[in-house]
Amino acid sequence: MNSQTLATEAAATLHELTGGHDHDIALVMGSGWLPAADALGTPDYEFPNTELPGFSAPSVKGHGGTIRSVTVGKSRVLIFLGRTHYYEGRGVAAVVHGVRTAAAAGVKTMVLTNGCGGLNTDWTPGTPVLIKDHINLTAQSPIEGANFVDLTDLYSSRLRALCRDVDPSLDEGVYCQFTGPHYETPAEIQMVRAIGGDLVGMSTVLEAIAAREAGMEVLGLSLVTNLAAGISGAPLNHAEVLEAGKLAAARMGGLLVDILPRV
Ligand code: 8IG
């Protein structure tokens, strides 16, 4: 089936499972962000993502696999707890299916969050950083066919300014998506520095491109959960990454509660 048709079908099921309500904003909660989702309030509706056509159960511990509909202020917010990553091997269309489903459901604003490595030593584990731009190191695109989508101001300067109004201490960075699932080598991190990257991760970029193709406004929020490889000298491990997320959850939750009603 065509990926757009599948997203339209998923959006129809979503409509049924969320009481016929429309959503204003969609959020993808990446690793480290799952606890922050709870701060947005008790869901009006919650179900496994596999209830919708085209979604798969998560293959990684700590990565969710649940969809929530939550009211935050006057906004209805659709939350994807967990995402499909490119390294799971289900293909690029599966990676961006949530974004396309949200777009097909009429959502205009896409908030993409992730846990990532940081190159700036000021960013201690648990520091949130606004994504100002990206470098796609996956050699993939979610776009099917010759659709030459413009990516200027992909990460909305309007939404970033709004976030900085709420929290003036927020820094911005350029996010580089690698395919993973291995972390980078120290030499690769030096390459990232040389090409202007500040953050490294395994998500977000392909989703942002699909969101822009669908005409959505995009906000990207990274949670730096570790220093990138070779910067501190210590090895990287997944348990540490999840732990940093838990510790930062309160701050992330508070940030989202303040930002979303203003979007
Ligand atoms: I959390 O240091 C997390 N995800 N590629 N590199 C990459 N992905 C990550 C990292 C990291 N930390």
pLDDT by residue (tens digit) across 110-167?
999 999 999 999 998 889 999 999 999 999 999 999 999 999 999 999 999 999 999 9
Q: Among 63, 121, 190, 226, which residue has the most ligand 1 atoms within 8 Å of its CB, making it the best to mutate? A: 226
Residues in the chain: 263
Taking residue 152's Cβ as centre, other Cβ atoms within 10 Å add up to 6
Cβ of 115 closer than 6 Å to ligand 1, yes or no, is yes
Tens of pLDDT, residue by residue over 54-100, are 999 877 665 568 999 999 988 999 999 989 999 999 999 999 999 99
- The number of folded domains in the chain is 1
Q: Are 164 and 170 within 8 A, CB to CB?
A: yes
Domain that holds residue 243: 3-259
Q: Token digits for 153?
A: 């101001």
Maximum average pLDDT range among 26-40, 144-158, 224-238 = 144-158
Q: How close is the Cα of 128 to the center of ligand 1, in Å?
A: 14
Position 203 pLDDT exceeds 60: yes
Q: What are the distances in angstroms from CA 236 to CA 168, 173, 185? A: 30, 21, 11
Beta partners for residue 155, in sequence order = 218
Residue 80, domain CATH:
3.40.50.1580
- How far is residue 109's CA from residue 111's CA, in Å, rounded to a whole number? 7
Q: What are phi and psi of 131, to 5 degrees?
A: -80, 120
Atom of ligand 1 nearest to the CA of 30: 1
